[in-house]
Amino acid sequence: MNREMKILFLGTGEAFSERANTSILIDERVLLDCGLTTLQQLMRIKFKLKRIEVIFISHLHADHYFSLPSFLVTCYEESRKNTLNIIGPIEIEEYIRNLLYLAYRKNFDDLNFKINIKNVRNSYRFEDYRFSFAPMEHSVPCLAVSIKRDGRVTYTGDGIPTKEVIKIAKNSDLLIAEAYKENIEGHSSIMKSVKFAKESNSKRLALVHISRKEIIDKGIKEAKNIFPNIFIPNDLDFIEI
């Protein structure tokens, strides 16, 4: 029997926006990116952090992983016992360890729960979730992830999709893609993400990482003429696929 995948947009904004940093919670178990505002958003909805079992970090920019030290220490304060799996690009473990020590003078051993960190390149499996990864074109190494359970959700992080990303995103029920601004190197835009959605044969397109400086109404109207099933979620919006 198919089970719907539950998608909560904790944040939908760019690094310096009135919106919270882009972060997505899937089935209350898998967290996609953990930027500066992510813990605050989880606290706002009174979410028990121990329910999150996998955290995917797309790349090592502050608006995508700087909540991790606070997240980890809060898990410790809440007496977490279950293992936390953190997956992401090369150097992720070194960066997280350094950031945790810089923020709280703590090491993993101080936290009293197990943390598994894995540098992923192609695939990863957690219970009935199958993860596929491919590189984005960005200013630092960045991974897109496609998660298959009964449905398929693909999330790009930041950047412009490569052919490999289009391949793993094929037939996504939901494509969550950056729509920052036109003509910015290493970033995508509304129209680039629309093209990506069509090339990957995705059913729906959610635009995130919205620029605080862009007027998007005109761009969305034009985009819907090309790909009608497009939307811009607000922070804490929830959908099922």
Nearest-angstrom CA–CA distance, 147 and 111: 29
| Residue 109: strand, helix, or coil | helix
User: Cβ distance 17 to 210 under 8 Å?
Assistant: yes
Neighbour count for residue 82 (Cβ, 10 Å):
11
Amino acid present at 62? A
DSSP secondary structure of 199-219: HTT-S-EEEESB-TT---HHH
Amino acid present at 73? V
DSSP secondary structure of 187-202: ---HHHHHHHHHHTT-
Residue 158 known to be catalytic:
no
Nearest-angstrom CA–CA distance, 135 and 142: 6
Which of the following is catalytic: 27, 33, 63, 235? 63
DSSP 8-state secondary structure symbol assigned to residue 4 = P
User: Cβ distance 92 to 86 under 8 Å?
Assistant: yes
Query: Which residues are known catalytic residues?
Result: 63
